[in-house]
Amino acid sequence: MKNVFKKISNFLNTRLGFVLLALVLYVIKTVYTYENKFNLGVKGSMQTFLMIINPIPVMLLLFGLSLYMKGRKSYIFLLVIDFLDTLWLFSNILYYREFSDFITMALIKGSSATSNNLSKSILGIVKPTDFLVFLDVIILILLLSFHVIKMDIRRLNWRIPVLVTSLAVLLFGANLSLAEADRPQLLTRTFDNNYIVKYLGLNAFNVYDVTKTTKTNANKANAKPSDLTSVKRYLDNNYVTPNAEYTGVAKGKNVFVIHLESFQQFLIDYKVNGEEVTPNLNKIYHEDNTLSFDNFFNQVGQGKTSDAEMMLENSLFGLPEGSGMVVDGTTNTFQAMPAMLDQDGYTTAAFHGDVPSFWNRDNAYKSWGYDYFFSSNYYKQKKSYNVGYGMKDKIFLKDSSQYIEQLPQPFYAKLITVTNHYPYDLDKKNQSIARTKTGDKTVDGYVQTARYLDDSVGEFMDWLQKTGLDKTSMVVFYGDHYGISGNHKKPMSKLTGIKNFNDFQDAQYQRVPFMIHMDGLQGGINHTYGGEIDVMPTLMNLMGVSDKGTVQFGSDLLSSEHSQVVAFRNGNFVTPDVTKVGSTYYNTKTAKVDTNISDKEKSRLTNKVATELSLSDQVLNGDLLRFNKLDGFTKVNKADFSYKKSTALKKLKDSQKSKTSLKMENDGKSYVEDYVTNAPELK
Ligand code: GP9
Ligand code: MN
């Protein structure tokens, strides 16, 4: 026994021994992290095996590099690599907690656009156990400092490091082929970063991600007009004729698009202790002149809000590796709904109480043809006016009225609320309903901020009524994505009363509101299955704007031909009959695993979804819209737009000469005083 111990101790005092020790500790650490900090969906012994061994090849390669050096340098190099890699792991843990995804190069590239708020929300979610990942680095440093392990400063025979490097490469090859055997086309067709980390590890995922992003840049340079032809061939073959009964019913009306942050459909008519959480939205939902959809899904990926915006105004999916608005919003050519309306005589404006750079909005909105972007610096600011990501909704909506009333009509105005955002914090004075009692901190405040949002909407709608805008406008509401992620199944089970709140239920709970409210509209609750990708074609038909020649992946929700296959960004989907989650097919109606569905039907649906996602990605990645000539549409020139406050306000003032704004129609008298809010901050 003593002998064995001695042997091990001797080995650890060699350079190779130290590398192996570091590697073993690293593997233990990643297994701990995979199991406790990520939700990789590991199933079966093969996946478990791969999950355990997948950090080995890359770390052996990196740690092995230290063997090419001699003396203390070698040890220091290894420790620095270990520390940096751990720091990266740590960052991913925090990012994952909020986004259920890993950090990508596209996100880092756009980090100036998002970091401001990202760091804010991330700092709030560190848990003490997150720091455990640094434990192995500390142990190694202590072992060396207290000379438990002595540094071996001899130069190694050159064959050893070369052997270690080759072994690492070989092991990676083995890892990859086992992974491919378990999940064919892992790297070519996957839509979910979790898969790649599960099979190949975080570091390999990063290499994959960087390679792909570099390739995307090359894609743009290499894309040809004929690439667009094949996309258009698919879209033409699957073209859905819009419902003629609704064509143009909103022609010439103003349009409000009201973004309900993180608002899930289950909140509609939801009660806590017998009390409605969102009475105003419930009322709108049930009104005769509201077209409400109860099978409408969010389809966002990592780009969250920005993916919703991309889909709603371009009918293009967000990118699998992150926000399309961030990656391509500045450089690509778009044929977005605001630009089309702009060229059709509308004034287009986006309103949001956050900094303009978030999600690269200040650039992307120009590419999308927004005349105005009223962001936080257009609003009076006080510390108490803000919570989380930006202005409190009541203050934001009230203070937007001064700009709305000056917009030349007809206008298209998108108002992005933000108070109902994770982590659902709200000061006492603004709380008007009790928290739920699931015991989950993230979940229990949700009804409070949702109620606050609902109150704000109520106040806004009252103002529309006072000004008469309710008669001259179409008001569209949508929830952008889930508020409670799939990581909170237990509390969701408590909130919904669904005992077995599993992945199937989580997919069903991706439903978000979509409501079109307009005086004289033939309303009702429509049960068609659809999602955010379908909003643009639906609204364009209502507004009577032709979609001839456009590249859109959604279709009119009111058309009888509308395909009810709702694609999720990760390749899962929901139809009225089938719900696919990972490799499991459920019967949407019975919530049970579907044992009757034929293989042919499985692959038909899976392929349809995969094809549409990948064609949409090709459009963004290849910047293909630059090749799409649209009749009567002039290519958007970003330089025509400026969101500089002084410039924009001067333009707005000058536009009053046309006398078409609400205020000018009222002989220049403002309606701002008519806006009633009970926001405590304004008292
Ligand atoms: C920030 C807001 C939040 O400006 O739109 O974005 P999200 O975190 O929901 O994607
Ligand atoms: Mn959002």
Atom of ligand 1 nearest to the CA of 359: 4
**Alpha-carbon distances, residue 116 vs 253, 388, 390, 423 (angstroms):** 37, 11, 11, 16
Q: Which residues are catalytic?
A: 305
- pLDDT of 46 > 50? The answer is yes
* Fold of the domain built from segment(s) 247-556+642-674: Alkaline Phosphatase, subunit A (3.40.720)
Q: 169: Cβ–Cβ under 8 A, 6 or more apart, which residues?
A: 57, 61
304 CB within 6 A, ligand 1: yes
The ligand 1 atom nearest the CA atom of 389: 1
Tokens representing 360 are: 């690269």
User: Tens of pLDDT along 641-657?
Assistant: 999 899 999 999 999 99
pLDDT value, residue 431: 98
Of 78-82, 326-330, 379-383, 482-486, the range with the lowest mean pLDDT is 326-330
- The number of the ligand 1 atom at minimal distance from the alpha carbon of 361 is 4
pLDDT of residue 187: 76
Asked if 541 and 549 count as a contact pair (C-beta separation under 8 A), the reply is no
Q: 389 in ligand 1 pocket by Cβ < 6 Å?
A: yes
pLDDT, residue 190, reads 46
| Helices and strands, number each (H, E), in the chain | 28, 18
Instruction: pLDDT band for 109, please (50, 70, 90 cuts).
Output: low
Backbone CA torsion sign across 578, 581, 586, 591: negative
What distance in angstroms lies between residue 85's CA and the mean position of ligand 1's atoms?
28
Please determine, for residue 158, whether its predicted confidence score (pLDDT) is greater than 50. Answer: yes
Eight-state DSSP code of residue 373: E
CA–CA gap between residue 141 and residue 86 (Å, rounded): 14
In short, whether 418's Cβ falls inside 6 Å of ligand 1 is yes
Q: How many CB atoms neighbour CB 244 within 10 A?
A: 10
| Tokens linked to 164 | 């270690």
Residue 120 pLDDT > 70: no
Given the DSSP bridges, would you call strands 390-391 and 386-387 parallel, antiparallel or unpaired? antiparallel
Q: How far is the CA of 211 from the centre of ligand 2 (A)?
A: 29
If residue 473 lies in a helix (H) or strand (E), which one and from where to where?
strand 473-479
Contact at 8 Å (CB) between 406 and 465?
Answer: no
CA 88-90-93 angle, to 5 degrees, is: 115
The best mutation among 97, 115, 117, 263 to test binding of ligand 1, ranked by most ligand atoms within 8 Å of the C-beta, falls on 117
Q: Whose CA is nearest to atom 3 of ligand 1?
A: 305
Distance 421 CA to ligand 2 centre (A): 7
Residue nearest to atom 7 of ligand 1 (CA): 305
Which of the pair, 679 or 184, is modelled with greater confidence?
679
Ligand nearest to the CA of 302: 1
Q: Is residue 121 pLDDT above 90, yes or no?
A: no
Q: Output the residue whose Cα is nearest ligand 1's atom 9.
A: 305
d(CA 528, CA 575): 10
- For the CA of 117, the closest atom of ligand 1 is 1
259 lines ligand 1 (CB under 6 A): no
Confidence band, pLDDT 50/70/90 cuts, at residue 96: confident
When pLDDT is cut at 50, 70 and 90, the band that residue 360 belongs to is confident
Residue 27 parent element (H or E) = helix 15-36
For residue 368, which of 336, 398, 344 has the smallest C-alpha distance? 336
pLDDT band, residue 679 (cuts 50/70/90): very high
- Structure confidence by residue, pLDDT tens digits, 542-556: 999 988 899 999 999
pLDDT score of 569: 96
**Percent of all residues in the chain with a pLDDT value above 70, rounded to a whole number:** 96
- Please give the pLDDT value at position 118: 56
- How many whole angstroms from 28 Cα to the centroid of ligand 1? 35
CA of 82 to the centre of ligand 1 (A): 33
CA distances from 387 to 124, 395, 462, 513 (A): 13, 11, 24, 24
Ligand 1 atom nearest 303 alpha carbon: 10
Question: By C-alpha distance, which of 55, 66, 362, 80 is closest to 204?
Answer: 55
Among residues 454, 394, 404, 444, which one has the least CA distance to residue 422?
A: 444
Give me the helix-helix angle, 55-64 and 202-222, nearest 10°.
90
Per the CB < 8 A criterion, the answer to whether 349 and 411 are in contact is: yes
pLDDT the model gives residue 122:
64
CA distance 173 to 153: 32
In the three-class reduction of DSSP (H, G, I as helix; E, B as strand; rest coil), residue 258 is classed as: strand
Residue in the structure block whose two tokens are 């917009």: 407
Task: For residue 501, give both structure tokens.
Answer: 């709140």
Identify which of 261, 357, 485 to mutate to test ligand 1's pocket (most ligand atoms within 8 A of the CB).
261
304 CA from centroid of ligand 1 (Å): 7
Q: Average pLDDT, stretch 204-210?
A: 90
- Whether 358 is in the pocket of ligand 1, judged by its Cβ within 6 Å, is yes
Q: What is the mean pLDDT of residues 466-471?
A: 98
Helices (H), 332-445: 337-342, 361-367, 393-404, 441-444
Residues 412-455 pLDDT 10s? 999 999 999 999 999 999 999 999 999 998 899 999 999 999 99
Q: Which ligand is closest in space to the CA of residue 121?
A: 1
Range(s) within the chain of domains with CATH label 3.40.720.10 = 247-556+642-674
The reply to whether the predicted model has a pTM over 0.85 is: no
Q: How many CA atoms lie within 13 A of 42 on its CB side?
A: 21
Query: Is the model's pLDDT at 152 over the cut of 60?
Result: yes
In this predicted structure, what is the pLDDT of residue 103? 84
d(CA 527, CA 439): 34
What is the Å distance from ligand 2's center to 331 Cα?
23
DSSP state of 548: T
Give 511's strand partners: 297
Closest by Cα among 409, 338, 330, 326 to 372: 338
Cis peptide before 513 (omega within 30 of 0): no
Looking up tokens 């392990």 gives 149
Confidence of residue 337 (pLDDT cuts 50, 70, 90): very high
CB atoms within 10 A of CB 440: 18
Residue of minimum CA distance from atom 5 in ligand 1: 305
Q: Let me know: does 656 contact 356? Beta carbons within 8 Å.
A: no
pLDDT the model gives residue 188: 62
DSSP 566-612: EE-TTS-EE-SSEEEETTEEEETTT-SB-SS--HHHHHHHHHHHHHH
Coil, strand or helix: which one is 254? strand
- Please, which pLDDT band fits residue 191 given cuts at 50, 70 and 90? very low
Nearest to 264 by CA among 550, 472, 513, 466: 513
| Apex 87 CA angle, 83 and 93, nearest 5 | 140
**pLDDT per position as a tens digit, 208-252:** 888 877 877 888 989 999 999 999 999 999 999 999 999 999 999
Tell the residue nearest (CA) to atom 6 of ligand 1.
305
Residue 538 has pLDDT above 80, yes or no: yes
Whether the predicted pLDDT of 665 surpasses 60: yes
Average per-residue pLDDT in the chain?
93
